[in-house]
Amino acid sequence: MSKAAELAKIGEVATNGQIGGRRNMVINGAMQVDQRGATVTASGYSVDQFKITKTAMDNLVIAVTQDTDTPSEFTTALKLAVTTEESAKAVDELLDIRHIIEAQNLQHLEFGTSTAKKLTLSFWVRSSTTGKYSLLFLLDDDTRSNLQSYTISTADTWEYKTITIDGDTTGVIDNDNGIGMSIIWTLSAGTNFTGTPHAGWGAYAVTEDHAHADMVDFAAVDDGTFHITGVQLEVGSVATPFEHRSFGEELVLCHRYLNALLAYGTGNDNNNKIYNADYVNTHSFVRMGYPRMRDTPTINYTISAGASDTDYSSNGLIQLFNDTVTNWYIYDVLLEKEL
């Protein structure tokens, strides 16, 4: 092989065949953006783009937050802490962390064709509980899955993990704004979610394919902690160094799914309110524009007065009406259209 060919091959491996552009298909993989800024104790989103699923855990009490205990390359991580354990796990109980990728952002993977591309997932993880953990790749449109695992060797120590999987030559990812692929880190699972999973890609059966039967039961550990950061999903069989993006870039990407307006989370502060702007035909109202989102969002907000307020939204414009008072204001406006 000539020197030029060797250098070309090295470059291909180093970039997984991608020249320019973004390698990492994960948004907010370094856990920098946390628009809600709140502690999650049940199912729901924590830091932007990372969702907690807590199903039928009757006794489990958790706190999920953005944390600063990280590997040296990072400044923020997602932390899940157990404050009250689930000592007797029922068959229908489940605890996991999910990152969901929009379908139209995955078309270059060519899933459903003979040229479907290999994928490599890499991440940093730290847990107080050692042992085998489950990692699930789940396709929404064709309900297909690929269950993998990783092992935490040393308690309370950051470890770097990489998992490479083949592309799915059967499962198609629709070219739309719905769910394309979910990456699921399962921490605890009842027997309704475990069994004998198929090897590689196959039809997803929740009772067999969601988690390994011999994985750890993290929810049963009092004062247990689990941290994760540096999540990267890229084309190819090589885990390249984490693609650091600026906070501003990650925030713009997150705004497609969640938009916190008027300094959300600061409460009833004079600097973070918007007052009614007009009064027409017994209606007082305010209008606000916002960047276009994945679809027309759900609007949550706090209003200072008036019992009969209603809201109207289209993708790019909000109008909030109040039929009972003319002097009122709103704050803590949150627009949600997450996957």
Kindly report, residue by residue over 69-78, the tens digit of the pLDDT. Answer: 999 999 999 9
HSE (CB half, 13 Å, CA atoms) of 322?
22
Mean pLDDT across the chain, nearest whole number?
89
pLDDT of residue 6: 47
Task: Write down the domain spans for the chain.
Answer: 22-255, 260-336
Taking the CA atoms of residue 165, residue 148, residue 61 and residue 206 in that order, the dihedral angle to the nearest 10 degrees is 100
Three-state DSSP class for 206?
Answer: helix
One of 1.20.58.340, 2.40.50.100, 3.90.1150.10, 2.60.120.260 is the CATH number of 22-255, namely 2.60.120.260
As a whole number, mean pLDDT of residues 252-272 equals 80
Confidence of residue 326 (pLDDT cuts 50, 70, 90): confident
Query: Is the distance from CB of 265 to CB of 37 less than 8 angstroms?
Result: yes
Residue 186 and residue 98 in contact, taking contact as beta carbons nearer than 8 Å: no
Residue 273 has pLDDT above 90, yes or no: no
User: How far is Cα 53 from Cα 184, in angstroms, rounded to an integer?
Assistant: 10
Predicted pLDDT of residue 15: 52
**With the C-alpha atoms ordered 257, 228, 248, 176, is the resulting torsion angle positive or negative?**
negative
> pLDDT tier at 67 (50, 70, 90 boundaries)?
very high
Q: Who has greater pLDDT, 254 or 264?
A: 254
pLDDT at 208 over 50: yes
The structure tokens listed for 117 are: 């591309």
Predicted pLDDT at 223: 96
pLDDT score recorded for residue 1: 47
pLDDT at site 229 = 98
Quick count: other Cβ atoms within 10 Å of Cβ 217?
Answer: 19
Q: Which two tokens stand for residue 306?
A: 């008036």
- Give me the numbers of helices (H) and strands (E) for the chain, helices first please: 3, 22
User: What's the pLDDT at 154?
Assistant: 98
Cβ count within 10 A of residue 165? 17
